[in-house]
């Protein structure tokens, strides 16, 4: 029997905002909207030797406005300069000093990390806080001016976008539902779809980055399996639910693992005048 979700974020309970080294707001979090990451250095352990950032900031209050984010998961920062160098952080990652030893930085996850929503939710954020120069503090001579490695899991916000995929996190052998809100469509030729006009192009991409379209683009609107059904009680909404591993079993060679699905909308008689907008849904990697 297939499952709607077999694994996901380590904890789906909202963590309390007290006595936490790292947390995000708002939580649940949207991948394509601004969120704020908080690091409370006063709650950090400073590593085994206890001579890290907390000790330095406590002893040198003049350095308390010079704390930077250094992050590597779900990827390195996607902006120009990335993290910078360990001895000279990227100025874009200077954190806001909220008071005490609490620091924050605000960003849009998918933009800042250059990943899609499912990747962001499945990996969470791994990072640390450091001074501009993360090496030994100038007159202390020991340790590094950083916290220990930190990680926060992300609780997904329910989707209200043009396309929503449920669950946000799934493996290729789980049920996955693609829901399309035609009322949010901005392409004139795709607006005001009739009940039998909405089709979805689906292409499985394997871990070796090989794409396997379910059918060629020219055949999408002639393929009943790709017609999205109207959602009862929600005019303008269309949905298709599949088990990707089963759906693509006759398309993807046996033994090739699925990494993601690329999808986009088609309508009989409609032809895109430029590159069609496409979305990616990346499968979660986790054990039973």
pTM of the full predicted structure?
A: 0.61
What is the per-residue pLDDT for 118? Answer: 81
Residue 144, pLDDT score: 81
Report how far apart, in Å, the C-alpha atoms of 99 and of each of 46, 54, 95 are.
19, 14, 12
Q: What is the pLDDT of residues 212-266, one digit of tens each?
A: 999 999 999 999 999 999 998 899 999 999 999 999 999 999 999 999 999 999 9
Assign a CATH topology to domain 163-282: Immunoglobulin-like (2.60.40)
In the chain, which segments carry CATH 2.60.40?
Answer: 163-282
Question: 126-177: per-residue pLDDT in tens?
Answer: 999 999 998 877 655 566 889 999 999 998 887 788 998 888 778 899 999 9
pLDDT for position 11: 34
Q: Which residue has the higher pLDDT, 6 or 41?
A: 41
pLDDT of res. 155: 85
* 12, pLDDT greater than 90: no
- The average confidence (pLDDT) of the chain is 87
């Amino acid at each position: 029997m297939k499952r709607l979700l077999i694994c996901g974020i380590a904890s789906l309970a909202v963590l309390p905002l007290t006595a936490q080294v790292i947390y995000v707001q708002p939580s649940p979090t949207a991948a394509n909207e601004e969120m704020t990451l908080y690091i409370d250095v006063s709650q950090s352990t400073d590593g085994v030797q206890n001579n890290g950032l907390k000790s330095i900031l406590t002893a040198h209050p003049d350095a308390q406005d010079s704390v930077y984010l250094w992050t590597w998961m779900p990827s390195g920062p996607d902006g120009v300069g990335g993290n910078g160098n360990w001895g000279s952080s990227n100025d874009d990652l200077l954190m806001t000093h909220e008071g005490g030893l609490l620091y924050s930085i605000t960003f849009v996850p998918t933009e800042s990390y250059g990943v899609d929503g499912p990747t962001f939710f499945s990996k969470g954020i791994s990072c640390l806080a450091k001074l501009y120069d993360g090496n030994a503090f100038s007159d202390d001579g020991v340790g590094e001016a950083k916290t220990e490695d930190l990680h926060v899991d992300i609780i997904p916000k329910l989707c209200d976008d043009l396309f929503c995929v449920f669950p946000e996190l799934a493996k290729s052998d789980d049920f996955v539902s693609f829901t399309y809100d035609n009322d949010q469509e901005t392409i004139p030729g795709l607006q005001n779809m009739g009940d039998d006009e909405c089709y979805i192009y689906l292409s499985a991409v394997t871990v070796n980055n090989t794409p396997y379209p379910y059918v060629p683009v020219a055949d999408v609107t002639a393929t009943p399996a790709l017609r999205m059904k109207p959602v009862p009680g929600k005019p303008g909404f269309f949905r298709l639910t599949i088990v990707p591993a089963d759906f693509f079993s006759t398309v993807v060679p046996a033994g090739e693992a699925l990494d993601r699905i690329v999808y986009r909308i088609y309508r009989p008689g409609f032809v895109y005048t430029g590159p069609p907008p496409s979305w990616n849904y990346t499968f979660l990697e986790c054990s039973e």
